[in-house]
């Protein structure tokens, strides 16, 4: 295993243990609102602190970008750890057992290692660049859907960008006519690795953040999938607008939604 991936796995498992204990004791969870429909808990903060501590022991000079703690520059600014301590915080708050820890390592702008850990199911999705993607040590691959007919798509609602709801539902209407069904799980990182494992055929969402995407994107690509923005380009880390699936599914997603998105969502 890549040395940095090994540390990422260790950190994710430690955070997962903390998260499970808190999930089993809901009275210990306190919630704050960061913005409208955007929440953080004391457990998010504690899990992120534990992850950062684990990374810093091994790599004290690396730069860290955490959803809750922000940017912590290190002497090595070219190696960045991107952390989401709980992707699916709203699920966690409500006691819905569908959330994960997401950790990615980027070196000179390229993601080299990624971990998405679902502590409730003890499912560990991992990837190192050029080494394939795994679930609990077993190789995973994207599904072989040739188009959207009968496809199962993951999606999310633009709950923090409701001004784009009109366009989003127009796209969903077009896709729903063709696809088999859709799922809205509440965790983008898990949706991406579910596409990587063939559990979902495709996924699309508006306004994701780098910590939502970074690990899942590498795992998806190492499993044979692709990710684009809404224009078919590679600006998704900046825009947060994502289409994901095997190459044929993504092509269909882009074709079916062509002309739906306003220019501001295609940049």
Mean pLDDT estimate for the chain: 93
% of the chain beyond a pLDDT of 90: 81
Q: Which pLDDT value is given to residue 264? A: 78
Q: Which pLDDT value is given to residue 265? A: 80
Radius of gyration of the chain (CA): 18
% of the chain beyond a pLDDT of 70: 97
pTM of the model: 0.95
* Res. 68: pLDDT tops 90: no
Strand runs labelled E in the chain: 31-35, 38-41, 62-66, 70-72, 76-87, 100-107, 110-118, 123-128, 133-135, 138-139, 152-155, 181-183, 202-205, 226-228, 242-245
Average pLDDT over residues 200-216: 95
Average pLDDT over residues 201-221: 95
Q: Which pLDDT value is given to residue 221? A: 98
- How far is the C-alpha of 80 from the C-alpha of 82, rounded, in Å? 6
Q: Which pLDDT value is given to residue 252? A: 96
Out of 120-129, 190-199, 253-262, pick the least confident: 253-262
Question: What's the pLDDT tens digit per position in 106-137?
Answer: 999 999 999 999 999 999 999 999 999 999 99
Q: Which pLDDT value is given to residue 40? A: 83
Question: What's the pLDDT tens digit per position in 7-48?
Answer: 999 999 999 999 999 999 998 999 887 666 567 899 999 999
For 48-55, the CB contacts below 8 A with 24+ separation are 48/15, 48/83, 48/85, 50/11, 50/14, 50/15, 50/18, 51/11, 51/12, 51/14, 51/15, 51/83, 51/85, 51/101, 51/103, 52/83, 54/7, 54/10, 54/11, 54/14, 55/7, 55/8, 55/11, 55/81
Domains annotated on the chain, with CATH: 3-139 (3.30.540.10), 152-265 (3.40.190.80)
* Res. 69: pLDDT tops 90: no
* Res. 266: pLDDT tops 90: no
Under the banding of pLDDT at 50, 70 and 90, the label for residue 1 is: low
């Amino acid at each position: 295993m890549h040395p940095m991936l090994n540390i990422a796995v260790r950190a994710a498992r430690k955070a997962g243990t903390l998260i499970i204990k808190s999930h089993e004791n809901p009275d210990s969870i306190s919630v704050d609102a960061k913005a409208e429909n955007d929440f953080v808990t004391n457990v998010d903060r504690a899990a992120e602190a534990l992850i950062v501590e684990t990374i810093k022991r091994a790599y004290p000079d690396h730069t860290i970008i955490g959803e809750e703690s922000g940017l912590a520059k290190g002497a090595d600014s070219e190696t960045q750890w991107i952390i989401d301590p709980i992707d699916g915080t709203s699920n966690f708050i409500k006691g819905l057992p569908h959330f994960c820890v997401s950790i990615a390592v980027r070196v000179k702008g390229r993601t080299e290692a990624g971990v998405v850990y679902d502590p409730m199911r003890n499912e560990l999705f991992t990837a190192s660049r050029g080494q394939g993607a795994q679930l609990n040590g077993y190789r995973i691959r994207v599904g072989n859907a040739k188009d959207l007919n009968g496809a199962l798509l993951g999606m999310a609602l633009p709950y923090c960008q409701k001004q784009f709801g009109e366009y989003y539902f127009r796209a969903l209407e077009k896709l729903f006519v063709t696809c088999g069904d859709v799922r809205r799980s509440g965790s983008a990182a898990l949706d991406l690795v579910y596409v990587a494992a063939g559990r979902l055929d495709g996924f699309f969402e508006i306004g994701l953040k780098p910590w939502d995407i970074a690990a899942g994107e590498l795992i998806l690509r190492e499993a044979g999938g692709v990710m684009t923005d809404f224009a078919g380009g590679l600006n998704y880390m900046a825009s947060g607008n994502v289409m994901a699936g095997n190459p044929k599914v993504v092509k269909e997603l882009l074709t079916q939604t062509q002309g739906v998105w306003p220019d501001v969502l295609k940049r």
